[in-house]
Chain A
Amino acid sequence: MDPVFAFLALLTTAGAVAAVSLRNLVHCALCLVVAFAGLAALYLQLNAQFIGFAQILVYVGAVAILIVFAILLTRGSEPGNQPILSSSWQAGLGVAVLVLGALGVAVASSFVRYYPVSPAPQPTVRELGEQLMTNYVLPLEVIGLLLTAAMIGAVIIAMHEKQGPR
């Protein structure tokens, strides 16, 4: 295995695991940042420049910031005493193993594996743009609609809380 990939994968996984297992919410959010950044580095390693930096810009620079914001804006409280693992962790683990197994079988039996590896296309940003405006114009418009709807929904939810009892 490529050592660079191994390092990045380890970093990403470790960040993700820490994000769900730590007690202090701020620590969790920052570990999530590490996981996002590791993912961005993985994209870059695959030569996907645009998506790699878009990942940094959107996830590290916006989504994670919003999470940190949400944590810091609400009243801080000491982490509770309840255990990190929920009471039904065995069932959760069972489901996770099942999903992993099913995916593994599906991947292993896929005919794609017997195809010769085609050279990875390296689209430039210009080509990405052309494809987005021509072949993939419908998904683009749907994304635009979805984002607008998401914004309106999120704002309405947040505003309602504000107008509640003061």
Chain B
Amino acid sequence: MNRMEWLANLTPTQQFVLFSVVKIIFAVAILMPIIAYAVLVERRLCAFIQDRVGPNRVGPFGLLQPLADGAKAILKEDFTPEHVRKVYYWLAPALCMIPALLTLAVIPFGSNLGNSNNRMVIADLNVGILYTFGIVSLGVYGIVLAGYAANSKYSFLGGIRSSAQMISYEIAMGMSVIPVFMLVGSLNLSAVIDYQAGRIPDPETGRLIQHSSGLLSWLVFKQPLAFLIFLVAAFAETNRLPFDLPESEQELVGGYNTEYSSMKFALFFMGEYANVILSSAMMVTLFFGGWTLPVFGLEQPADSLGKGLLHIGIFLGKMAAFLILFIWVRWMLPRFRYDQLMDLGWRRFIPLALANIVVTAILLWVRA
């Protein structure tokens, strides 16, 4: 009772600041267990696909396995080989993790909590997608520096390979989403979600007008090619199979993280999963309606606390589906060769993405 009064007495600015800080803590606190359990799900699913049992000893169904993994990472000998460049050796794992976390800031992971002031996005930037791509492009530094820091041939080659792969698919990724923003007319990610829920701004007044919407207004059905290119580019950007050439075990042992062990290795590992999670979140936002569902009025912003939490749940659910897709594909497909990978990126996807832009432009033009 007392506490509520204290909250109500704050000025709107103070409330907003408080709410935003809580939001940041909440978002990071949610991300952490998701990363941990993504690893567990990966191991269990992989075991299932390969007809094994998988980790099932720590806790019921192995549910405490992530805790054991974390403890192991901390307790292992924190070993720094002699030949490494020490500062970069320490810096690189952190640099792998930071961009993945920063991308989280512009993703709307829910509508609000019953009060339209408290939108569930940490920084609702007008140029949200540019922010995302800008931050994603920083992910190369962690890998290239890891390769340089370790001062070993495998690491070096892995780092260079990986960065060339990432920059190649960055272009395909950036160009694949252009048609999406032609349709939406804004670079803001909340606007993308609004568009998919049928809330389109009136060109004259800018007021949002509710059009009829349904599953088919999700951008994945309007721009299937864009989604496909984005999906494959996301696999390549996160260095997941079938694009995990930087750490192709037969050739490079572990690629850029060959010389790493204990917690530093665990950070690379977590960074990869954070990237996978954030790519999933981006795909949900851009192509699968974000926190909306076209049933039971769930495409409207929440008007009660329960509905707000439900929206967050919907978002997490869709994200989990993509996560499982990422994992499933990893254990289903063999790895590409490096020339095939570059070929696919530069000679297939970039022309396709460009063609998609032109076709969408002409179609929109004819319709208008």
Residues in chain A within 8 A of chain B (CB atoms): 26, 33, 49-50, 53-54, 56-57, 60-62, 65, 68-69, 72-73, 124-126
Whether a CB of chain A sits under 8 angstroms from the CB of B125 is yes
Q: Is the CB of A26 within 8 A of B137?
A: no
Q: What would 18 A/B residue contacts be, using CB atoms closer than 8 Å? A: A26-B148, A33-B141, A49-B126, A50-B130, A54-B134, A57-B137, A60-B134, A61-B170, A65-B141, A65-B144, A68-B141, A72-B147, A72-B148, A72-B156, A72-B159, A72-B160, A124-B126, A125-B187
Bound state CA distance, A61 and B130, in angstroms? Answer: 12
The docked-state distance in angstroms from the alpha carbon of A60 to that of B163 is 14
CA distance A57 to B131 in the complex (A): 8
Residues on the B chain within 8 Å of A125, using CB: 126-127, 186-187
Minimum CB–CB distance for B188 against chain A, Å: 9
Which residues of B sit under 8 angstroms from A57, Cβ to Cβ? 130, 133-134, 137
Can you name the residue of chain B whose Cβ is closest to the Cβ of A54?
A: B130
Cβ-closest chain A residue relative to B127? A49
B127: chain A residues at CB < 8 Å are: 49-50, 53, 125
- Cα A20 to Cα B141 in complex, Å, equals 20
Which residues of B are interface residues toward A (Cβ below 8 A)?
Answer: 88, 125-127, 130-131, 133-135, 137-138, 140-141, 144, 147-148, 156, 159-160, 163, 167, 170, 185-187
Are A61 and B137 in touch, CB under 8 angstroms? yes
Residues in B whose Cβ lies below 8 Å from that of A49? 125-127, 130
Tell me which residues across on chain B come within 8 A of A61, comparing CB atoms: 133-134, 137-138, 140, 170
Do A62 and B167 touch (CB < 8 A)? yes
The residue that B160 contacts in the complex, of A54, A56, A73, with Cβ under 8 A, is: A73
Report the minimal beta-carbon distance from B352 to chain A, rounded to whole angstroms.
20
5 shortest interchain CB distances as A-B pairs: A61-B137, A56-B134, A53-B130, A57-B134, A53-B134
Across the interface, do A72 and B144 meet the contact criterion of CB distance under 8 Å? Answer: yes
A126/B137 contact (C-beta < 8 A), A57-B130, A68-B144 known: no
Q: Tell me how far the C-beta of B66 lies from the nearest C-beta in chain A, rounded to whole angstroms.
A: 32
Q: Chain B contacts of A50 at CB under 8 A?
A: 127, 130
Q: Which residues of B contact A56 (CB under 8 A)?
A: 134-135, 137-138
Secondary structure of the B side of the interface? helix
Chain B residue nearest in CB terms to A69: B163
Complex interface: chain A residues within 8 A of B144 (CB): 65, 68-69, 72
- Once A72-B144, A126-B186 are accepted as A-B contacts, the answer to whether A62 and B130 lie under 8 Å apart by CB is no
Instruction: Give Cα distance in the complex from A152 to B238, angstroms.
Output: 30
Complex Cα–Cα for A54 and B88 (A) = 27
Expressed in whole angstroms, the Cα–Cα distance for A65 and B148 within the complex equals 13
Distance, CA A147 to CA B234, complexed state (A): 27
The residue on A at minimum CB distance from B91 is A30
Docked pose: A73 CA to B134 CA in angstroms: 24
A25 to chain B minimum Cβ distance, whole angstroms, is 11
**B131→A53 contact, CB < 8 A:** yes
* CB-CB nearest in chain B for A53: B130
Give the docked Cα–Cα distance between A3 and B272 (Å): 37
CA A159 to CA B117, docked complex, whole Å: 57
* Nearest A-chain residue to B126, judged by Cβ: A49
CB-CB under 8 A from B88, the residues of chain A are 26
Contacts of A33 in B (CB 8 A): 141
A153 to chain B, nearest CB (A): 19
User: What residues on A are CB-neighbors of B185 within 8 Å?
Assistant: 126
Complex Cα distance, B147 from A54, in Å, reads 27
Question: Which residues from chain A contact B131 at a C-beta distance below 8 Å?
Answer: 53
Which one, B126, B156, B167, contacts A65 given CB within 8 A?
B167
Given contacts A62-B137, A65-B141, A126-B185, 13 further A-B contacts (CB under 8 A): A26-B88, A53-B131, A53-B134, A56-B137, A61-B137, A61-B138, A61-B170, A65-B140, A65-B144, A68-B141, A69-B163, A72-B147, A125-B187
Smallest distance from the beta carbon of A158 to chain B beta carbons, Å? 14
Q: Which residues of A contact B140 (CB under 8 A)?
A: 61, 65
Q: How far is the CA of A126 from the CA of B188 in the complex (A)?
A: 11
- Which of B130, B163, B185 is the most central at the interface, judged by chain A CB atoms within 10 Å of its CB? B130
Instruction: List the A side residues contacting B163 at CB < 8 Å.
Output: 65, 69
- Among residues of A, the one whose C-beta sits closest to the C-beta of B125 is A49
**Closest CB in chain B relative to A22 CB, distance in Å:** 13
CA distance A62 to B140 in the complex (A): 10
Q: Point out the residues of chain A lying under 8 angstroms from B134, CB to CB.
A: 53-54, 56-57, 60-61
Across-interface contacts of A53 in B (CB, < 8 A)? 127, 130-131, 134
Docked Cα-Cα span, A73 to B135, in Å, equals 24
Give the docked Cα–Cα distance between A38 and B134 (Å): 14
- For A54, list chain B residues within 8 Å (CB): 130, 134
Cα–Cα distance between A28 and B88 once the two chains are bound (Å): 14
CA distance A26 to B148 in the complex (A): 9
* CA A26 to CA B87, docked complex, whole Å: 12
Contact of B137 with A60 in the complex, beta carbons under 8 Å = yes
CB distance from B153 to the nearest CB of A (A): 12
Chain B, Cβ-Cβ closest to A125: B187
